[in-house]
Amino acid sequence: MELDAISLILLALAIPASFIVSAAAGLGGSLILVPAMMMAIGTKEGIAVAALLLACNNVAKVAVYRKTLPWRASGTVIIAVMLGTALGATLMLKLPELWIRYAVALVIVVTLVWEFSPYHRAKKAWGVGLAFCSGATSGISGTSGPLKGVALRSLQLERFYFVGAASLVSLVGDTTKAVVFSQSGLLQIEHLVLAGILVPVMAGCTLLGRTINRKLGERWYSVLFWTVMGGYILRLVT
């Protein structure tokens, strides 16, 4: 994996930034890391390496938020994401993704309207379907934030438990992608070495992200959350 100077600078900025945002908001890391990796090393390899790095970073997030992991509440979402991710990652190896991005953008608009509806039971049922779609989208394009974010919001968790749930779901989804991409040959030993080298960076950035989360009130956390969601929408339609 040979990189020029510009690519090295890009990744040196994008990698820690993605880990910090992910730990602070619960998600959003792929919004930064996937495009940077795609620009530096190519589309499919970039998506695969980003999945590996994010999977490793999610281990750090789960460890840091271990006291606020809502295992029971997020169980169905985790299973749905895992199944959707396995399907999406398999399709990514064979299909173009542009038409899927626009379809997802449409689903996001409908989902955001539904998010503010008064039908809480329907929202929770809708959330499981969105979780599956988020996994499929993540497997294909490397990013799933809006769908996954709204699916997790349907659980109505306090922000620290929300980040804990997002960490669990992301760990399962990114690990599933990494396994599929490893079996296809997209991930090599050199990528595993890179992940190992970055472990201290992951740990430090995750702790910093948690500190930022703690200093945010519920209002500013909501601002951060929807800013990340808006970024995902722009990422999908451009």
Determine the pLDDT at residue 86.
93
Determine the pLDDT at residue 120.
47
Determine the pLDDT at residue 55.
93
Determine the pLDDT at residue 108.
56
Q: Using a cut of 0.75, tell me whether the model's pTM lies above it.
A: yes
Report residue 229 CA to chain centroid gap. Answer: 11
Determine the pLDDT at residue 200.
93
Cα distance from N-terminal residue to C-terminal residue, the chain: 27
**Could you tell me the CA-to-CA distances from 88 to 92, 182, 187 in Å, in that order?**
6, 15, 17
Q: Residue 211: phi, psi to the nearest 5? A: -60, -40
Mean pLDDT in consecutive groups of 10 residues from the start of the chain, 238 residues = 78 90 83 82 85 93 91 89 91 70 57 57 69 85 72 82 90 93 90 91 92 77 67 60
Rounded Cα distance between 146 and 27, Å, is 9
